Structure 1
Amino acid sequence: MSEDVYSHGHHPSVTNMHATRTVQDSAAYLMPHLTPGMEVLDVGCGPGSITAGFAALVAPGTVTGIDRSADVVAQASAANASVRNAVFTEGNIYDLDFPDETFDVVHAHQVLQHLTDPVAALREMRRVVRPGGVVAVRDADFHAMTWFPSSPALDEWMELYQRIARGNNAEPDAGRHLLSWILEAGFTETEVSTSSWIYATEERRRFHAESWAERVLHSGFAEQALERGLAERKDLERLAEGWRTWGTAPDGVFLLPSVEVLARA
């Protein structure tokens, strides 16, 4: 198995946006299945905002958040130090350091799209969930994203993102593949749904635009584009300016859809 490369990297422009995510806006499909006393594993937890939300819902149960980045684990631990029933540790999704049938729920949000072998990851997630437990995954579908007003710069950004992600042997349009991967991993009882983030207010569109402008210039996206000769610095500056221009449109709308699957072990 090749080494996975995270297309976004862990620049503050990435982790700061991820830290705004909540259970309500990112895992609402899972909330009805969470009850006090459960043991939950959050795989690829990032800065831990969703993890902390799970902890509040399952207390006095515990939530374990794992991420492969030591720096991100440290950030999550510091940001959620007051959450007594959440722990954060480094971990490998392909080789989870837990016995079989340890957790009631295993969750991964926007993770599978970055993996070279999402089916192997799902099999490992299935291994550590208890009989009757739930594996819950949610991933965006990049080619299903849409925006208004039209923007040649955002069209170019999408094409470049696809090239970067696919150059990492990953699947940026993961949402449409989730059910297929789940079935290949051996699950038979599934529930598929969809939900979206929408950026259509002045505050939200400016936040989204500025986040992506910074990512285009400074994150792993920029580093990989430059290192592989997929873009020059002037190209990235043009894309960043395109994002910022879109972010000032009073009628701007950006729709970011995800597919989500609940699978029973």
Structure 2
Amino acid sequence: MATYTHGHAESVLRSHRSRTAENSAGYLLGRLHAGQSLLDIGSGPGTITADLARIVAPGPLTALEATDEAIALTKAELDAQGIDATYVVGDVHDLDLPSRTYDVTHAHQVLQHLVDPVSALREMGRVTRPGGVIAVRDADYAAFTWWPLIPALDEWLDLYRRLARHNGAEPDAGRRLLSWARAADLQILQASSTNWTYATPTDRRWWGGLWAERITDSAIADQATALEWADRADLERIADGWREWADHPDGWFMVPSGELIAAP
């Protein structure tokens, strides 16, 4: 299992809690219906999980995370929304779950953080029932696009991609989902992509502000300084670049994600 490069700083959780089934799993929604059993891998703060659970209710929900800390975040959100679930701490590369169990096995922004995404997809296929689906969505950092061109943001992107790969992960995952699924011997049903776009003043303040905070006060900052790839002055300069972008009236940022639906 790779090191989770982002960690669980409040700036990270604030971003993840903005995710919903509508803005993060729209490609999957047409295949969901009441009564399906759902496994959500990498459930995190649980906002997508809760939305999906309501769609498949009364079908059973299982949420899986890599650590006790992370699964506690899921449980807190689902408890607050009155949603019942089975909670599992485990490794997606080697799931301690029975084969052919779930109608839907879902993972949002997970494969990009793994040492071996192909074996993870193979495991997801193993625990999915015949006739069920495996659904994954992952960002592609090299395809992130923004305007205006601010050198500090180029520095940020280079630093993040280097850190992710140092941790055994692949930040440019979106473009690789199809090839990974084929290598895992899954049947490809649908390959697509969608974007998150930040261009309004409100969205720019939110997106730029959380990244300015994340680059200076999160696991990313800790790793960058520990490896001596950046010092505090470097990180503050990058944060200032994010704030400059957020304040610019022409500011525009696109985050593309690859999406894939497959069958075992």
Give the TM-score range, shorter chain: over 0.9
C-alpha displacement at 1:50, in angstroms?
A: 0.3
1:44 to 42, 45, 65: 42
- Structure-1-length-normalised TM-score: 0.96
Give the equivalent residue in structure 2 for 1:125.
124
Give the equivalent residue in structure 2 for 1:23.
21
For the residue of structure 2 that corresponds to 1:259, the secondary structure is strand
Give the equivalent residue in structure 2 for 1:243.
242
C-alpha displacement at 1:8, in angstroms?
A: 0.6
* 5+ long unaligned stretches in structure 2: none
Query: Partners in 1 of 2:211 and 2:62 — Cα distance?
Result: 29
Q: Report whether the alignment pairs 1:116 with 2:85.
A: no
Query: Partners in 2 of 1:48 and 1:88 — Cα distance?
Result: 12
C-alpha displacement at 1:88, in angstroms?
A: 3.3
Aligned structure 1 segments of 4 or more residues deviating by more than 3 angstroms: 85-89
C-alpha displacement at 1:168, in angstroms?
A: 1.2
**Given residue 176 of structure 2, which amino acid in structure 1 is its aligned partner?**
H
**Given residue 78 of structure 1, which amino acid in structure 2 is its aligned partner?**
A
**Given residue 149 of structure 1, which amino acid in structure 2 is its aligned partner?**
P
C-alpha displacement at 1:71, in angstroms?
A: 1.6
Asked if the contact 1:139/1:258 (under 8 Å) is kept, the reply is: yes
Asked if the contact 2:78/2:84 (under 8 Å) is kept, the reply is: no
Query: Partners in 1 of 2:198 and 2:230 — Cα distance?
Result: 27
Q: Report whether the alignment pairs 1:260 with 2:262.
A: no
Q: How many residues align?
A: 263
Give the equivalent residue in structure 2 for 1:199.
198
For the residue of structure 1 that corresponds to 2:83, the secondary structure is coil
- Structure-2-length-normalised TM-score: 0.97
For the residue of structure 1 that corresponds to 2:93, the secondary structure is coil
Structure-to-structure mapping, 1:80-99, within 5 angstroms: 80-81=78-79, 82-99=81-98
C-alpha displacement at 1:65, in angstroms?
A: 1.4
For the residue of structure 1 that corresponds to 2:220, the secondary structure is helix
C-alpha displacement at 1:21, in angstroms?
A: 0.2
Q: Report whether the alignment pairs 1:58 with 2:51.
A: no
Give the equivalent residue in structure 2 for 1:234.
233
Distance 1:220 1:262, change over 3 A: same
Query: Partners in 2 of 1:172 and 1:209 — Cα distance?
Result: 19
Give the equivalent residue in structure 2 for 1:185.
184
Asked if the contact 1:60/1:85 (under 8 Å) is kept, the reply is: no
Query: Partners in 1 of 2:188 and 2:253 — Cα distance?
Result: 33
Query: Partners in 1 of 2:249 and 2:242 — Cα distance?
Result: 14
Give the equivalent residue in structure 2 for 1:107.
106
**Given residue 223 of structure 2, which amino acid in structure 1 is its aligned partner?**
Q
Asked if the contact 1:133/1:264 (under 8 Å) is kept, the reply is: yes
* 5+ long unaligned stretches in structure 1: none
**Given residue 228 of structure 1, which amino acid in structure 2 is its aligned partner?**
L
Q: Report whether the alignment pairs 1:35 with 2:33.
A: yes
Query: Partners in 1 of 2:88 and 2:46 — Cα distance?
Result: 11
Asked if the contact 1:61/1:85 (under 8 Å) is kept, the reply is: no
Query: Partners in 2 of 1:203 and 1:68 — Cα distance?
Result: 33
For the residue of structure 1 that corresponds to 2:75, the secondary structure is helix
Query: Partners in 1 of 2:161 and 2:194 — Cα distance?
Result: 22
Summarize deviations over 1:211-233 as a string: whole Å, max 9, x none.
Answer: 11111011111111011111111
**Cα RMSD after superposing both structures:** 1.1
Stretch of structure 1 that moved more, 77-86 or 153-162:
77-86
For the residue of structure 2 that corresponds to 1:33, the secondary structure is coil
**Given residue 100 of structure 2, which amino acid in structure 1 is its aligned partner?**
E
Asked if the contact 1:52/1:83 (under 8 Å) is kept, the reply is: no
Query: Partners in 2 of 1:36 and 1:200 — Cα distance?
Result: 36
